[in-house]
Structure 1
Amino acid sequence: MNPEIFREYDIRGLVDQDLTDDTVGLIGRGLATYLSRQGKRRVVVGRDGRLSSPRFRDPLVQGMVTGGLDVVDVGLCPTPVFYFSLFHLDRDGGAMITGSHNPPEFNGFKVCSGKETLYGKQIQEIRRVIESRNFTEGRGSVSHREIIPAYREHLAGNISLQRRIRVVTDSGNGTGGLAAPKIMRDLGCEVIELYSDVDGRFPNHHPDPTIPEYLRDLIAKVKETKAEVGIGYDGDADRIGVVDHRGNIIWGDQLMILFSRQVLKTNPGATIVAEVKCSQNLFDDIARNGGRGIMGQAGHSLLKKQMKEEKALLGGEMSGHIFFADRYYGYDDAIYTSCRLLEILSQTDKRIPELLGDVPKAYNTPEIRVDCPDDRKFSIVEKVKDSF
């Protein structure tokens, strides 16, 4: 087993090279042991639309059941719907089979204990359990539950639109297409869909809405249909990308300005956490509107942890992970985030550029991503820290 698949925020690797059926079975046994030692046994398993995800479901669940867990299989769904199931079904944890926004040859697992995602040392502890082969034994069970209808009903009861909005969605052939367009129609929107059918080959474009190249079709369709807004999702719909009616990309910190203003109207003085890559404009705007802005570490698990510690009602990253604890559960849900954006737009005749018209123009260097072997990343970071 390649130890490097146990990463900071998830377990992830190349299918048939790092992740085989046997390895996935061991991951199930390791997670079962980790949870059982905490007295937890009622779990949920979900999966995304990657070609390998149905195949990996069986050894993962078998490993969990052999370790004594009672598994509810919620099937094919977006990652936020899996998170929702932890609350709705009141489970003790679980695993989502997903490669998120990575290329088709990758897959992985987001793992939870209780209602919280595991990261860092917790994920490494699962690795150590597997390497030791010191597994718990038990006789668990498997049941199946359709969860998307309950999720749709919950969001429809949480969001209220004041007028009809024309919106274009681009699910990138990920699992967002299973729920987002339907929920928007439930809310009364006119929805124009791109790539809503789930296809793990991602034939139209890579499902990463933070890369401008992959928003080209969304931008073109927004302009063609004169839509008010365009919304894109990554492969498992926990990250959002937005374009305005002119086709301009609205970045994560700009979205956070809109959301923080809404949250602060009903929660004066609320705490809001945003990661370090967000612009100073966001923190200044939070302060001007009476909020308490905190700069947090990058990484969805770390941000959720800091939100809980600070009792924050909103958190966000430039990458499109947005976390609402205001009226919601505090996890990253791009579909719910979409609905909150539509709610804001429905309460005014202004378009997004007008709503952000009082925000100073910021100029910044785009994020520079340098390929680096996983086994060298942390040592390189330490050397950079020493240099400064």
Structure 2
Amino acid sequence: MPEHQGLKQYFPAPEAFERHRLCTEILQRYDIRGIYNQTLTNQDAYVLGHALTLHFKKHTAEPIPAFLVGHDCRPSFPALKKALIAGITEAGGEVFDLGLAPTPVVNVCTLQQKVFDLPASIVAGIIITASHNPAPYNGFKIMDNQGIPVCGAELVDLLNANVDLSQITSQTRPVQEASYLLYKYLLYLLGHFKGLHHLKNNKKYIWDTGHGVCGPLLEKLISHLPGSHHIMNQTPDASFPDHTPDPSVEENMQTLKKAVIQERADLGFSIDMDGDRLGVIDAKGHYWNGEKLSYLFAEHLCQKQKTKIIVDVKSSQSILERVKDLGSEADLCPTGHALIKKILKEQPEISFAGEYSGHHYFPHTYCLVDDAFFSALTVLNIDQHSPLSDTFQDLPSVYAIPQKQIHFPTHEDKQKAMKVVEQRAKTLNLDPITLDGVRLNFHFGWGLIRASNTEPALTYRAEAQTEKSLAEILSLMETTLLETDS
């Protein structure tokens, strides 16, 4: 490889390299995400690879830190991947390239490197993805080999402290092709469901991957599962011609719902763009969003043994009440996979965590990774013994609104608006929960307002025991807390 080829390509003037800073707008709480060639550039990818390599050289015992790298199907991935790898290798690091891969595959391999016969020099996994954002977006999700995401303020500090022109080398290592890990991942996943082959073989299942990255791997997975399976929107296509691959929005589930009813299927599974979130349609067409699935998983675990679970602040109070009724512990936690994974690492007694958005974590029975494939197989297993279409009627009857958004021009404007909400909430004498936004609890329900971690928007939702109580909570939120001065 010619000397410093990547550096010269992305920074013809070397001094520009050390001055380069990523746009603060794309350094989000969970990941890096921006519009390609506007807020996110190839230069950013090179600097990111360089800084991560120097950081892990300093803070681990690995003189040659290695990274697992995967990507989704966006048109910008080849250029960003090339720049990222150049930044890593020219800083003295090594790359194992999984190619097109769901986020949980990269994360599971990174976390379970001994199981996958990977070298101990693997320090982190990097996925080039912007999840369900439109095709012009792209970004990076980073997780270290302890299961902790590298993001937010920590990533900002890392980038500022690890850009050093003198550390660039021409002695680079060739990229290791590692797509074989996808098959090893399937074996690892199926190893957690050894009883599946004993289950009924007359069931019919429909899967919708929304033209995201999961279709090719899912095709291999279903060949190992009982029953008949059909995959919709299987071909990766970042233009998302049928619908946005976001199962947390009921509108995106309509194609799957129609197919389940028409085909008289037993279940329909919807997986998001990069494979870490799940939504389900049961045989009667009921929509199981992330919140309802959290209720299902938590109840299933707590019926087996006393344990502790957590759900994010956007989730229903009914989950906490059901867990406590079963003799287990339940708490609220902040929204976001990065924060939740840190909590799970710090509190090993927690056996399950769930998010309203469809992320689910099973640290006792799986690992610290939010994996839609694992969640789907868990649902399949539960449904074999207790059909979800029958269980749905046993869910608590509450009145709730789905998440709503108020958009702002910038993230800074969003944060200013959130501070106003927090100040107004203090005047209500309601003892709000403020671990992530403002959650107001009443004896008849609750309401939440928080700043989105991925968009310049405030989000809010509410839940109550009656329609009238829900209207009262919404009125308080919209006319007192969210009212603008205009």
TM range (shorter): over 0.9
Q: Choose which of 274, 283, 289 in structure 1 pairs with 2:320.
A: 283
Q: Distance in 2 between matches of 1:36 and 1:384?
A: 43
What residue identity is the alignment partner of 1:9? Answer: Y
Q: CA deviation at 1:58?
A: 0.7
Q: Choose which of 54, 57, 67 in structure 1 pairs with 2:91.
A: 67
Could you tell me whether the CA contact under 8 Å between 2:32 and 2:151 is conserved in 1? no
Q: Choose which of 145, 152, 155 in structure 2 pairs with 1:120.
A: 152
Q: Identity over aligned residues, as a percent?
A: 28
Indicate the residue corresponding to 1:18 in structure 2.
39
Equivalence map 1:20-35=2 (5 Å): 20-35=41-56
170 and 67 in structure 1: CA distance in 2 versus 1, 3 angstrom threshold: same
Q: Distance in 1 between matches of 2:143 and 2:189?
A: 22
CA-based RMSD of the aligned residues comes to 1.8
380 and 127 in structure 1: CA distance in 2 versus 1, 3 angstrom threshold: farther
Higher deviation after alignment, 241-250 or 104-113? 241-250
Q: Choose which of 106, 112, 118 in structure 1 pairs with 2:137.
A: 106
Q: Choose which of 93, 96, 104 in structure 1 pairs with 2:127.
A: 96
Instruction: Give SS of 2:143's match.
Output: strand
Could you tell me whether the CA contact under 8 Å between 1:7 and 1:123 is conserved in 2? no
Q: 2:109 matched to 1:85? A: yes
What residue identity is the alignment partner of 1:69? Answer: G
Indicate the residue corresponding to 2:389 in structure 1.
353
189 and 325 in structure 1: CA distance in 2 versus 1, 3 angstrom threshold: farther
Indicate the residue corresponding to 1:221 in structure 2.
259
Q: CA deviation at 1:35?
A: 2.1
Q: 2:195 matched to 1:158? A: no
Indicate the residue corresponding to 1:143 in structure 2.
176
Q: Distance in 2 between matches of 1:196 and 1:335?
A: 15
Q: Distance in 2 between matches of 1:366 and 1:76?
A: 33
Indicate the residue corresponding to 1:56 in structure 2.
80
Q: Distance in 2 between matches of 1:99 and 1:200?
A: 10
Could you tell me whether the CA contact under 8 Å between 2:271 and 2:277 is conserved in 1? yes
Higher deviation after alignment, 330-339 or 87-96? 87-96
Task: List alignment gaps of at least 5 residues for structure 2.
Answer: 1-21, 426-486
Q: Distance in 2 between matches of 1:245 and 1:176?
A: 23
Q: Choose which of 11, 21, 24 in structure 2 pairs with 1:3.
A: 24
134 and 290 in structure 1: CA distance in 2 versus 1, 3 angstrom threshold: farther
Could you tell me whether the CA contact under 8 Å between 1:129 and 1:135 is conserved in 2? no
- TM-score normalised by L of structure 2: 0.75
Could you tell me whether the CA contact under 8 Å between 2:284 and 2:389 is conserved in 1? no
Instruction: Give SS of 1:45's match.
Output: strand
Q: Distance in 2 between matches of 1:260 and 1:17?
A: 42
What residue identity is the alignment partner of 1:185? Answer: S
Per-residue displacement from partner, 1:330-370 (whole Å, max 9, x unpaired)? Answer: 21111111011111112x2x421322433321111221112
Higher deviation after alignment, 117-126 or 136-145? 136-145
What residue identity is the alignment partner of 2:177? Answer: H
361 and 36 in structure 1: CA distance in 2 versus 1, 3 angstrom threshold: same
Q: Distance in 2 between matches of 1:137 and 1:269?
A: 53
21 and 257 in structure 1: CA distance in 2 versus 1, 3 angstrom threshold: same
Q: Distance in 1 between matches of 2:161 and 2:313?
A: 33
Could you tell me whether the CA contact under 8 Å between 1:94 and 1:111 is conserved in 2? yes
Q: Distance in 1 between matches of 2:136 and 2:419?
A: 30
Per-residue displacement from partner, 1:199-235 (whole Å, max 9, x unpaired)? Answer: 1221221111111221111111101111111111111
67 and 362 in structure 1: CA distance in 2 versus 1, 3 angstrom threshold: same
Instruction: Give SS of 2:214's match.
Output: helix
Q: CA deviation at 1:144?
A: 1.2
Higher deviation after alignment, 1-10 or 231-240? 1-10
Q: 2:390 matched to 1:369? A: no
What residue identity is the alignment partner of 1:128? Answer: N
Q: CA deviation at 1:288?
A: 2.0
Could you tell me whether the CA contact under 8 Å between 1:251 and 1:318 is conserved in 2? yes
Q: CA deviation at 1:195?
A: 0.7
